[in-house]
Amino acid sequence: MKVICIIIGSLSLGLGIAGIFLPLLPTTPFLLLSAALYFRGSPRLYHWLLSHKHLGPYIRNFREHKALPLRVKILSVSLTWITLLYCILFIIPQLWLKALLLLLAIGISWHILSYKTLK
């Protein structure tokens, strides 16, 4: 069972890191899942993740304060809108799909902005 937790935790960590660069892939849930799975599977990996220079503070701040830094909010919402507007304007020909992508952008933005801002 520990090996399964480590494997799934590592996959989740990879998705979380990818989510930093891909606007439609959420970062925080995958990093939190990785921390939970590493906690069950390997205390050494859990400690490594929480003490990581870039990912550790992000996980700890979210777990303790349920808040995101302003920079993360701005970057996430901006990348989401840039990506989806590009798709709406230049890639997708169907009107119903354009409307769906617009609703998706609004929903993602609302979700990100609903968290408190970390000071």
Q: How far is it, in rounded angstroms, from Cα 34 to Cα 9? A: 4
pLDDT in tens, 48-58: 999 999 999 88
pLDDT band, very low/low/confident/very high, at 35 (cuts 50, 70, 90)? very high
pLDDT in tens, 81-119: 998 999 999 999 999 999 999 999 999 999 989 999 987
Q: Give the residue extent of every domain in the chain.
A: 1-65, 68-119
pLDDT band, very low/low/confident/very high, at 4 (cuts 50, 70, 90)? very high
Indicate the burial class of 88 (C-beta count within 10 angstroms; 0-12, 13-18, 19 or more).
Answer: middle
Q: How far is it, in rounded angstroms, from Cα 86 to Cα 65? A: 34
Pure H helices in the chain: 2-21, 28-41, 43-50, 55-65, 70-86, 95-113
